[in-house]
Amino acid sequence: MKKLALLPLIALMASPALADTPEETAAAALEAAPVWDGHNDVPIQLRGRFRNVINDFDFEDTTDTGPEHSAGRVMHTDLMRLREGKVGAQFWSVYVSASLDEPEAVQAVTEQIDVTKRLIDRYPGDLALALTADDVEAAMARGQIASLLGMEGGHSIGSSLAVLRQTYVMGARYMTLTHSKNTPWADSATDTPQHNGLTDFGKDVVREMNRLGMLVDLSHVSAKAMHDALDVAKAPVIFSHSSARAINGHARNVPDDVLSRLPANGGIIMVTAVPGFLSEAARQWNANRSAEQARLEALWQGQPEAVEAALSNWDEANPLPKADIGDMADHIDHVRKVAGIDSIGIGGDYDGIPFAPDGLEDVSTYPALFTELARRGYTQSQLEQISFGNMMRVMRAAEDYSARVSDMLPIESPVPD
């Protein structure tokens, strides 16, 4: 009889009611392994809003940025919200426009590296420049947000391996091979292909990045360039801010035949919060709106007011479908299914987008995303891999490969006559 009396108590102790809630699982994961975010565009906000004059810029709280800057959009990022979002390491994107000629891009990216370092130096209690995986761990142990630099777009090296090497010396630890346009050596996902992926020089760029220990970022490149880079790479690659093309067909997303190669390479896709890359309905809306605008401009040539009025009426009748936190979790689910839990990271692209998904409005909202993943059955250990562990493994692997080939001579290419 006593044994029988214990059964209800045992059943109660084993019941889901006493298990960790999704909120508790997510909180425990982010306490143990804060988010290592693959892509944030604060540096281009500094350039666009303040022309890189930042001595009076308050990065503690940017919620008062707005009407006088960037059509009223408040910045997505500040120290207060990074802390709230449990961000422990951040790749700051030193992006410059792909429309710049290469010599201008080289100067501009140097300016962006400079302004980002100056921002980091202004907040030594909160931020620390990190050049290695050990630096990341040390900064976080001190309670600082480890701050790494990522170059977005190969146009910024001016088709020069020497410039690539010098940007590494300046602190850049990844480079996205293209941005929205092709480079002379790599095809972009959003431009008309010219090279059938990577040229021979483009493959040398990948090899030299591997030799340096600089991460090869395949966001923004064409699917053929993704495959070419994976064919050449000796170290894990990253996608710093992309999502799954099987769910949203945008060219910026990664097809399954590329995702399926990540386990063998050891690389990761850092799933992004860009609404147009998450929601297929939003992608279709964008295409339909572009078509409608083209139709109206053909119909009302030389009458921009008529076009604007008609397009405004179309917008009112056809509201943009919103992406939300569930859409981002769906992409993570898909990557897990195709490439496995070891292949997932997070790359929000905050301050590089005009607006974010519902529930993920700024960098403070990462705990909500991890709560949603916990609700879907992800364990604390798996959440820790996604938030931090996978990216740390990738960076260490890139550094380890570089150390193993330290006696390899730099790849040389002749300068123009």
CA dist list (Å): 347 to 66, 227, 272, 315, 355: 24, 21, 5, 30, 15
Closest CA relative to residue 394, chosen from 224, 265, 218: 265
Catalytic residue, chosen from 37, 41, 204, 384, is 41
Active-site entry in 37, 78, 152, 384: 152
Q: Of the listed 76, 195, 220, 227, which one is catalytic?
A: 220
What type of residue is 343? Answer: S
Active site residue 334: no
For the question of residue 349 being annotated catalytic, the response is yes
Beta pairing, strands 268-271 & 238-242: parallel
| Rounded Cα gap, residues 127 and 121, in angstroms | 7
Catalytic-role residue among 227, 241, 250, 331: 241
**175: which strand partners?**
151, 216
The pTM of this model reads: 0.94
What is the rounded CA–CA span in Å between residue 77 and residue 40?
8
Burial 10-40 (b: 16+ CB within 10 A, else e): eeeeeeeeeeeebeebbbbbbeebbbbbbbb
Annotation says 220 is catalytic: yes
195 carries an active-site annotation: no
Rounded CA-CA distance 207/411 in Å is 8
Q: How many CB atoms lie within 10 A of CB 47?
A: 21
pLDDT at 5: 44
Identify the active-site residue in 78, 349, 372, 384. Answer: 349
DSSP state of 75: P
- Please list the pLDDT of the chain residue by residue as tens digits (417 residues): 344 344 343 343 343 444 599 999 999 999 999 999 999 999 999 999 999 999 999 999 999 997 665 556 899 999 999 999 999 999 999 999 999 999 999 999 999 999 999 999 999 999 999 999 999 999 999 999 999 999 999 999 999 999 999 999 999 999 999 999 999 999 999 999 999 999 999 999 999 999 999 999 999 999 999 999 999 999 999 999 999 999 999 999 999 999 999 999 999 999 999 999 999 999 999 999 999 999 999 999 999 999 999 999 999 999 999 999 999 999 999 999 999 999 999 999 999 999 999 999 999 999 999 999 999 999 999 999 999 999 999 999 999 999 999 999 999 999 888
**Is 331 noted as a catalytic residue in this protein?**
no
Largest CA distance in the chain: 96
As given in the structure block, the two tokens for residue 254 are 């990664």
Q: What whole-number distance in Å separates Cα of residue 72 and Cα of residue 95?
A: 22
Angstrom distances, CA of residue 113 to CA of 36, 173, 175, 336, 417:
20, 11, 13, 34, 29
**Which long-range contacts link 117-124 to residues 24+ away (Cβ below 8 Å)?**
117/149, 117/171, 118/54, 119/42, 119/43, 119/46, 119/54, 119/57, 119/59, 120/147, 122/54, 122/59, 123/59, 123/79
Across the strands, what pairs with 148? 91
Annotated catalytic residue, options 179, 195, 227, 250: 179
DSSP 3-state assignment of 214?
coil
Q: Is 78 a catalytic residue?
A: no
